[in-house]
Structure 1
Amino acid sequence: MASTACFVIVSKNGIPIYEAEVGSALKKEDLAHQHQFILHAALDVVQDLTWTTNAIFCIFRFLRSVDRFSDFVVSVYVTAGHTRFLLLHDSRSNDGIKSFFQEVHELYMKIFLNPLYLPGSRIASSHFDTKVRTLARKYL
């Protein structure tokens, strides 16, 4: 597992709907704010790349590493509905990261298809959080 990893799901309106520190490093308040800042700054790059990639008709777009800050890399996965999954990490396993994104996308679709879920609202499910953290341990 990566020693540092922060995972965020951002709605198509730019609102974070899920956040998790999934790394094995000690969680410090200052680092959490720094991670959020780095991921927020990467959203502009993601917006530009989303419209310039040739994968217009794909169900999803795995944009790999779109931004770097110090030893951190931001990898992004964009769904067909323009929901963005951002992962801030310090590892190099692109296959593991892609598998992580794909399985989290499946979990997200189960939440999204729930008739009681309001699209664009925060995901507060403890089951979803547990599954995401399990997938992070498995793939990152």
Structure 2
Amino acid sequence: MSPTFYFAIVGTNDSPLYEAEFGVRRDENKHLNQFIAHAALDLVDDAQFMSNSCYLKTVDRYNEWNVSAYVTPSNVRLMLLHENKAEDSIKGFFTDCHELYLKTLLNPFYEPNAPIQAQAFDTKVQALARKYLL
């Protein structure tokens, strides 16, 4: 059984801009995953002032889930719920997803803090998940 990951990009107004699940799909946990990620936002906000890095590592734990976070300079939060996984691969995943998000921001048709619905973005995030997480 492969591990499960839940990834979310949360905008500056705490609204989700993008969500994805990787690995084994457990639909009954989708709302729980959203709840865990949203509950960890306050801890991310506290942790970002204690670190000089965008990558905050594990900021919260819930049962078997770890919540890792990455905060962009514009205060957009990248959140990953995962079971035990190597921190280096998670950092690489976040770094590449941040670069992908920046390329989306450069698109003149993308409205900042709007949900990201581009199929190309989703395909690239899925490829990054296969490369770093699965």
- Paired with 1:26 and 1:46, the residues of 2 have a C-alpha distance of 26
Q: Does 1:4 align with 2:4?
A: yes
Q: Which runs of 4 or more aligned residues in structure 1 lie more than 6 Å from their structure 2 counterparts after TM superposition? A: none
Give 2:16's aligned amino acid: P
Shift of 1:26: 2.8
* Alignment check: 8 A CA contact 1:3 1:25 kept: yes
Q: Which runs of 5+ in 1 are unaligned?
A: none
1:13 matched residue in structure 2? 13
Say whether residues 1:36 and 2:34 are aligned partners: yes
Number of aligned residues: 133
3-state SS, counterpart of residue 55 of structure 2: strand
What amino acid sits opposite 1:132 in the alignment?
V
Q: What is the CA RMSD across the aligned residues, in angstroms?
A: 1.4
1:2 to partner: Cα distance: 5.7
TM-score normalised to structure 2 length: 0.94
In structure 2, what is the Cα distance between the partners aligned to 1:89 and 1:123?
22
Paired with 2:25 and 2:110, the residues of 1 have a C-alpha distance of 32
Check conservation: 1:5, 1:89, Cα contact below 8 A.
yes
Aligned pairs (5 A) from 1:3-82: 3-22=3-22, 24-28=23-27, 30-53=28-51, 55=52, 61-82=54-75
Question: Taking every aligned residue pair, what percent have the same amino acid on both sides?
Answer: 47
SS in 2 for 1:99: helix
Within 2, Cα distance between the matches of 1:96 and 1:17? 23
Structure 2 spans left out of the alignment, 5+ residues: none
The TM-score with structure 1 as length reference comes to 0.90
Q: C-alpha displacement at 1:50, in angstroms?
A: 1.5
Note if contact 1:2-1:90 (Cα within 8 Å) is conserved in structure 2.
no
